Amino acid sequence: MDINWFLYVVKESVIDGDDIIEVGESGVGRCSMGPGIMEAPYGLMYVIPHEFVIKFHKEKGQKNPCASVVKEAVEAYFGVSLRDRRGF
């Protein structure tokens, strides 16, 4: 199974210990799920293929994946605009 990249976007505020995670916050990571948009606890996950992320980074002149460019790759892959850029 391929290891792909995801962007998780918070859609419902949540308290995690002493932290409050606000609507619009996001993060990136790797997962074994196939590409697609899926609901997750408190938000949405946008999963894109690893190969797309690598190609996108090379086109941007980046040698290694970074969070902000993974987010841009998700926007390009799904044709969406995720305007709230908190966390990046």
Where are the domains positioned within the chain? 4-78
Which letter does DSSP use for residue 64 in this model? Answer: S
Query: Helix-strand-coil percent breakdown of the chain, rounded to 5?
Result: 25, 35, 40
pLDDT in tens, the chain (88 residues): 679 999 999 999 999 899 999 999 999 999 999 999 999 999 999 999 999 999 999 998 888 888 999 999 999 999 988 865 454 4
Distance from C-alpha of 42 to C-alpha of 34, rounded to nearest angstrom? 20
Question: What is the separation of C-alpha 66 from the centre of its chain, rounded to a whole number of angstroms?
Answer: 11
Please report the pLDDT score of residue 1 as a whole number. 62
